[in-house]
Amino acid sequence: MSRIVIALGGNALGNNPEEQKELVKVPAKKIAELVKAGHEVIVGHGNGPQVGMIFNAFVSANSVNAKSPLVPLPEAGAMSQGYIGYHMVNAITNAFHEEGLDDKEVMYILTQTLVDANDPAFKNPTKPIGPFFATREAAEAANPNSVIVEDAGRGYRKVVASPKPLNFVGINQIEKSINAGATVIVGGGGGIPTVKDENGFINGVDGVIDKDFALAKMAVLAKADFFIVLTAVDYVKVNYGKPDQKDLKEVNKAELLQYISENQFAPGSMLPKVQAAIKFVEEGGKAAFIGDLKDLEDIIAGKIGTKVTLN
């Protein structure tokens, strides 16, 4: 059987904890079925709605009570990983029980993703985070030592960098857990951006790492056979919405790069998923797939979804 890394979108987990507890049962059942079939599964998830909820809540609390602390983005990211992980471990463990897999265990590993402190993204932060403010002064007061921009007439907002993932704190122990038979949940939200200084000490920094890029890197380092990006479409499409719209069923790196040069994929939506798939096969993965969560077993079987290969 195969070692598979699955990237699950944060929007698939709902907008609040109660929704999330219910929605996470869907991927949990799919994961249990894969494990029952003999696959090793590593799963990661987005956390955009969740970390936004946490970050905004602390800003709101501080606005009415100065004694309520502002919480930095890395800490908000860690909080989101913790509560998403709690729900995912429960849901997958329960799904294992339903499948008669009581000997199987799930681990959630809070993930810090190592990035280059000199990554060019830090010089040009573009990812918005947190609430809007009516004035720049109010935004700066609520976001100390941050880059603030005016956002399309809607107010002022904090923006952060999106550096590229290089490695993960504790990667050897993550791989040992997988090798020991655990189903591992890792790389939540792309991980907390973490830099290492010249003396070898690590520290979390403001930033948002694309979760698909992070999990593609995790798939390479964990020696996965396949990398699967789950989204809300059955296939990646070109000429989207036009009479000649086409589903991409099997596509290689060169073909995808041509489509990228034609601006076929929307930035911030399908483009990073395609780029992450390319990165995985470039670095030695057998194949990457992009498809819908409901079709997970059929994606692995090659019956649906876009399959990406190097050649």
Q: 229: domain CATH number?
A: 3.40.1160.10
pLDDT in tens, 217-231: 999 999 999 999 999
Is residue 178 a part of any domain in this protein?
A: yes
In this predicted structure, the answer to whether residue 67 has a pLDDT above a threshold of 90 is yes
Q: Residue 248 domain-assigned?
A: yes
Give a yes or no: residue 239 inside a domain: yes
- Residues 129-184: tens digit of each pLDDT: 999 999 999 999 999 999 999 988 899 999 999 999 999 999 999 999 999 999 99
151 within a domain of the structure (yes/no): no
Domain limits at 259? 3-62+72-115+165-309
What pLDDT score was predicted for residue 12? 78
Q: Any idea which of 9-13, 198-202, 228-232, 261-265 has the lowest mean pLDDT?
A: 9-13
What is the enclosing helix (H) or strand (E) of 237? Answer: strand 236-238
For residues 159 and 51, what is the distance between their CA atoms, to the nearest angstrom?
14
Residue 44 included in any domain: yes
pLDDT at 173: 96
Q: Which residues are catalytic?
A: 10-11, 127, 211, 273
Beta-sheet pairing, 226-231 with 3-8: parallel
Q: Is the pLDDT of residue 10 over 80?
A: no
Name the average pLDDT for the chain: 95
- The pLDDT confidence band at residue 112, using thresholds 50, 70 and 90, is very high
Q: What is the DSSP string of 3-45?
A: EEEEEE-GGGG-SSHHHHHHHTHHHHHHHHHHHHTT-EEEEEE
Task: Please state the domain count of the chain.
Answer: 1
Residue 274, domain member (yes or no)? yes
Closest by CA position to 192, among listed 78, 56, 83, 45: 78
Query: Tens of pLDDT along 273-284?
Result: 999 999 999 999
Q: Would you say residue 174 lies in a domain?
A: yes
Q: Is residue 129 part of a domain?
A: no
